[in-house]
Structures are given as C-alpha cells and as structure tokens.
Chains A and B, each alone.
Chain A
Amino acid sequence: MITLRNVSFQYEGCGEGVHDIDLIVHDGECVVLTGPSGGGKTTLTRLINGLAPSYYQGTQKGSVSVNGTEITTLPSWRIGQEIGSVFQDPKSQFFSSELAGEIAFACENYGMAKQEIRTRTEEAIASLGLDALRLRPLDVLSSGEKQRVAVASVYALRPHTYVCDEPTANLDSEGAARLADILRKLKDEGNTLIIAEHRLAWLSGIVDRFVYVSEGTIQWEKTPAQMRELSDEERKRYGLREIAETEISLPMLPASAGEEHLFCRNLTCRRKKAIIFENLNFALPAGLITAVTGKNGAGKTTLAMALTGLQKPGSGEVYIGGKSLSAGKRRKAVWYSSNDTGTQFFTTSVTDELLLHSDASPGRLERARALLKTLGLYAYKDAHPAALSGGQKQRLSIACGLLSGREILLLDEPTSGLDGGNMRKIAAVLTEAAAEGKTILVITHDKELMQSCCNFQWELCQ
C-alpha cells in the first residue's frame, strides 16, 4: 500500500510543485492521475517512485510511505525493487540496442546471477509478447514497441507497483491498445498501477479510480462510473479527454473537393529496397483540414516529409497552386511541424522563435501576441524554448507554422500528449487558419482532434 499524508513538495529554484496531497493507493489497485498539463501529476509520480526529492531536488513536507516504510529513508535502488517506473519517452531511456540486453539491464544492476537474469529476461519477453522483436535493433522499433520494451525492462525486476508517467504520449491508438493489454495483465497478476495520463479512453476496464490533479493539489476523485456520467461541458471545464473510445464519422477525402491547393501524381517513396508507398494520387482542398491516419510504419511521416521537400520521393510529382514544384521550392511553400519537438527551435526566446527569419513589424508582433495568448503561451513569451514542456513546444511549433506565411501546413501528431483543454485550443486555431484559406494536413491518431476540426479523413495503407 502506498500512502501520501499531507505531502507538499516544491522544486529547488522554482515555485512549481504540489501541496496538501493525501492519497492512499491500495495493493492491486489501478489509479489514474489526470488533469491539465502542469497540474502536478508528474511531480506526484516522482514522489511515489522516490525520484523526488532524491533526483529532482526540492523541499518535501509530509509523509510518503510504501507498505509502512517512509520512502525517503530508502536508497533509490531499494525503491526500484518495489516500484517500477515507466516514463514518457522510451527512446531516451535505453542502455542497450538489443531487446534482451535492455530488459536484463535492471536485473544486472541488482547483481543477480546470470541464470536468474536470463530466466527473468526470457519470461518478460514471453509474457509481454516481444519475441518477434528479438532480432531487431531497438532504435528501429515503433514508439509503441519501444514503450512495451520499457515496460518489460521493469517487469523483469518483478516490482509490485508500476508508476507510469504519460506512457501513451508518443503512441498511436494501436500502440495504446497493446499497452492496455499489458497493463491489464499486470493488474490481473495483482500489481498496483499508478498512471499519470491525459488520454483516458484506452484505460477503460483497467482503472479503478481517477484522481484529478490541478494547480498542484488533488481536486477530486471519481470512479469510472462517475467519470462516465460527466457531461461534455464538465469534461471541457476540467480539460479532460474522452472517457470512452468514440467512433468518428468523418467523410473520406474525395478525389476532388473544390479548389485544390496541393495535389500529387504517382508519388512513390522507397527506403533501400522497401517500398514505403507507391503511386499515391490525391489532392488537398484549400481552406480545409484533412486528417491522415494509418498504422505505424504506413509511411505517414515519410509522406509529409516528401510533400514538404525535406525528403526526395523516389518518383512522382507534387503540384502546388497548379505548378509542379521542386523540393527546394516546396520547402518555401509548405510548413512541417514534426512530432519530435526536441530539435525544432533555434533561438533564445519564444518571441524570437516566432519572428525568426521575418520582420518584426507592429502588425506581425500583434499577430504573434494574439496567437500566443490563444495557445496559452503568452506567459512564456520570454522563456527559452528548451524550458517549455512537450505540450508547450508542440503549440509553439504550430504557432511558428501559422506565422511562417506558408499556405500549406503539415502537422505530425500535433496533440499527442496534450490534455483536453490544449487539444481544443489547437483545434480552434487550426479551424481559424483553415477559414483564412490555409490548406492543412494533420497526421493524427487523435479521434477527438479529428472530430473537433477535421473536414476529411484519409487512411494511408502500407
């Protein structure tokens, strides 16, 4: 049992943290911490797995205990045996490039005998269905596969509690569904699950209790049944995502839908000898938003890069405004926001980033200011882009695209890892941009985003 009594924590050097936390998590229970970004969910997970204050330093008051033992009295490696941690971005957690080596890593650290390490590693691979990934380097796995490897590397240690911090932030719906199967299995085995998460629908049938964390404290707790009774208005007020999986009914992208801004003829992309996609013919209508869906590896990002001119297609042509444009010219006409925002910014402040490569005319400054306010970034206008959270970076990237003056925007998973409130802000901004005549293509698995702002859906098949 994990008990937090009257806990407050403030990070060293900044005012952020949590306060007055009282929470009991019983053995075998699945508790989901939800709420807006920056509300304190991650800090709460760090207090539970002991990373705060041992790694993330700050001032802690109150008591956090595991089975009656105060967690601050335990060394980090002892906590790791009891509480396994799964983080948001699995790719930067790996110490090995091979499946078995990565899964064995924790067991190796605990100095287990070779036979024991091998038994546990093989068991974790078999239990989590990872056998097919054994011969593939970890770097080439999809985000969903990497996240399952991350869970397996914790599973091999056999902790009783799993703390997951936004484990689906980088996953598509199929990846989230497979992770849900794994978490269901862990719960059935009697493990305790504590999951900080925005996306809630995939947890249906696993979660026992939702805990809403906002402004650094627990605001309320609800059972899944109570959550389902929330009206749409209440959900929006709390900035929550859909509680249950919803079916969307978007029309498929037609062969022709009015004025075409961008169209492709026989577009083909190959990587080494493998064909990623072949002979694609489609047209994107101006002033509308098209959602591109498809399984991992279907080539959605490759398609976006080819359309933007960041990657040369094997063959075929891309027409913009009726003219076949070279890759160099397409880069001036099309904006691409990558899903990975870690390396997208080059200046020392959010404002400079928006004005990079452009004049700072009063009109433009006013537009930048309005956009920052709409996207909830105005308070960070002087902050360094690297200091922003993942969700804030995603919003900044979209703002840069909207201010770039380019008429076509390609956005790769712009709302992965965003809470309901910020997802709706992005939907509103995109709808407004489309109304101004911009052509927008969104690569997404976010059904709520698609329902909120997209006009057409197009599934890219492998």
Chain B
Amino acid sequence: MRRGNFAIPVKLWALACTIIGISLTADTVLTCVLTVTGFAYLGAQRNWRLLRSMAVFYALLGILLYLIRFHDFHPAVFSEFYVLMFWTLTPVFLVSWDLITTPPGELASFLSRIHTPTPVILGLLVMFRFFPTMKSELRSVWLSMRNRGLTAPTQLVSHPAASCEYVFVPLLLRCLQIADQLSVSAVARGAERPGKRGSYYGKRADVCDSIWLALWTVVTAVFLVVGGVRI
C-alpha cells in the first residue's frame, strides 16, 4: 500500500510539538512518549520504511542506554552523552524526516497557498532535486576516476590534493551545467510569470488530520505536565 501523507500544517505542528516538548522537558528519558507517538504517526501515514529503520535505531539506543544506566557500560568510541542526545532527539528526527520526505509538490502547494513568492517555491523544488541528482553525478565522477586509474591507493595517498580536485572540478562544472539547463527549462515553462502560482497537489485537511493535530497537542501537553518543565 502506498504511503499517505497528512496535510502540511499537521506535519509542521507535529514538528513544533516535538521541538517544544524536548526543549522544555525536565525528564529526558520520558521523551519515549513523544517517540512512540511519532512511530504511531508514521504508521498512520503508512510510512513503513522510515518507521522500520528508526525503530531499529531507537531500539539500539534503548539497549545502549540500559547498559550505560544499569551495567556501568562505557562505550569506547563515543560518549554516553551522544546516546542520551540521540534518544532525546529521536521524536524530532522522526517528524522532521517525515516532513522533508513529503512529495515536494505538496510542500510547494502549501507554500503557494500561504502566498510564498514563486522564486522561493522554485528554490525549494530545486533543493529537493539537488540531492538525488548530485548523488548520481558523484557516482559518475567516481566511476570515471576508476576508469582513468585515478583511484588507485598510491594515487590517492601520493596526490591527495589532486585527487580532491579530480572529484570537485567535474562535479562543480556539472553542477553549473545542470543549474543552467534547469533555469532554461523553468524560464521556458513560465516560471517568470508574476502572480500566485497554482498547484496540482494540495491535500485538504480531513478528519484524520484534525485527530492528529489534536493528538500531538494533547500528548505534548500531558508529557510536559507529567514530566515537568525546565526553563
């Protein structure tokens, strides 16, 4: 079954609730309440992939925290502080990752509704395209370097600066080329038209959205009341 998405205001509110919750709480361990709500929130949107990977990550953090707290475990490579930090921040990671993996069209539609200028919306759309494009270009550069024999360990060790240049120069030039082509494509398709932008997307808020809006508010409020507030 395909992933669903709550309306953008709900997602933004969920993010605000988690940030407020973890910023004000006096009981860091109790942030698991927000995390569990976050998992349920992902499940309600059928975002199984993120739910699975974050559940594994959170379980590992839980085990580490248990070992540190009750078995005097001291990790060799990282401090206990980081374990607690990630444990506390997990609800923010969950909802923010869910927000940024929302289809860019939905985000653009929301921004258009709140009268965001078109250049800002286009900038956002380009940003979302940037990462997958750069990943694929970086792979191409690496393959070309291997083909030319520029990735041999002796080459990398004896000429580190040149090796960096071999990666960055074609990558930056490709960036410029893609930016140029993208700009031309936008200009030719009316991106410079003044006025409000329309949208193909734009989910209307329904009962589910309202329920989750209320749920995040209630859970955060209860969490702060029970766990205490530290300002």
Contacts and interface: CB of A to CB of B under 8 A. Distances in A.
A157 interface: yes
A338 interface: yes
A430 B190 CA distance: 45
A121 B201 CA distance: 11
Given A139-B136, A335-B147, A108 B173 contact: no
Contacts of A226: none
A105 B122 CA distance: 10
Contact of B137 (A85, A116, A332, A343): A343
A461 interface: no
A101 interface: yes
A181 to B, nearest CB: 23
A121 B105 CA distance: 14
B149 A106 contact: no
Contact of B169 (A310, A331, A346): A346
A113 B182 CA distance: 25
Contact of B192 (A77, A331, A345): A77
Contacts of A344: 144, 147, 170
A276 interface: no
Given A51-B184, A108-B199, A343 B189 contact: no
Interface stretch (B6-14, B31-39, B124-132): B124-132
A55 B189 CA distance: 13
A436 B182 CA distance: 44
A74 to B, nearest CB: 12
A94 B201 CA distance: 17
Contacts of B136: 139
A241 B62 CA distance: 67
B123 to A, nearest CB: 11
B221 interface: no
B184 A55 contact: yes
A77 B118 CA distance: 13
* A157, A305, A310, most chain B CB atoms within 10 A: A310
Contacts of A357: 148-150
B122 A95 contact: yes
Contacts of A342: 137, 140, 170, 174, 177
Contact of A55 (B108, B174, B183, B195): B183
Contact of A157 (B108, B186, B190): B190
A111 B189 contact: no
A87 B198 contact: no
A309 to B, nearest CB: 8
Contact of B140 (A76, A113, A343): A343
Given A114-B202, A139-B136, A80 B147 contact: no
Interface in A99-142: 100-101, 104-114, 116-118, 121, 135, 139
A139 B129 CA distance: 10
A331 B190 contact: no
Given A109-B118, A112-B198, A93 B185 contact: yes
Contact of B147 (A94, A98, A106, A310): A310
A255 B23 CA distance: 71
B145 interface: yes
A263 to B, nearest CB: 21
Contact of B129 (A95, A117, A154): A95
B189 A154 contact: yes
B218 interface: no
A356 B148 contact: yes
B192 A76 contact: yes
* A55, A87, A106, A346, most chain B CB atoms within 10 A: A346
A95 B186 contact: yes
Contacts of B181: 87, 89, 92-93
B218 to A, nearest CB: 33
A106 B190 contact: yes
B144 A338 contact: yes
B148 A77 contact: no
B228 interface: no
Contacts of B211: none
Interface string A364-404: 00000000000000000000001000000000000010000
Contacts of A101: 103-105, 200-201
Interface in A327-353: 331-332, 335-336, 338, 340, 342-346
A301 to B, nearest CB: 11
Nearest to A139: B132
A338 B118 CA distance: 37
Interface string B160-171: 000001100111
Contacts of A135: 2
Nearest to B143: A310
B188 A49 contact: yes
B132 A92 contact: no
Contact of B198 (A89, A98, A117, A154): A117
B140 A108 contact: no
Interface in A187-212: none
Contacts of A97: 103-104, 128-129, 132
B196 interface: yes
Contacts of B145: 346
B40 interface: no
Nearest to A85: B188
A96 interface: yes
A107 B132 contact: no
B200 to A, nearest CB: 3
Given A110-B193, A343-B171, A344-B144, 4 more contacts: A51-B188, A94-B129, A97-B128, A108-B112
18 contacts: A75-B193, A87-B181, A87-B184, A92-B178, A96-B105, A100-B105, A104-B200, A105-B189, A108-B199, A109-B118, A109-B198, A117-B198, A135-B2, A338-B143, A343-B144, A345-B170, A346-B166, A386-B177
Interface of B: 2, 103-105, 108, 112, 118, 122, 125-126, 128-129, 132-133, 136-137, 140-141, 143-150, 165-166, 169-171, 173-174, 177-178, 181-193, 195-202
7 residue pairs, one from A and one from B, having the closest CB atoms: A104-B200, A77-B193, A93-B185, A109-B190, A106-B189, A101-B105, A85-B188
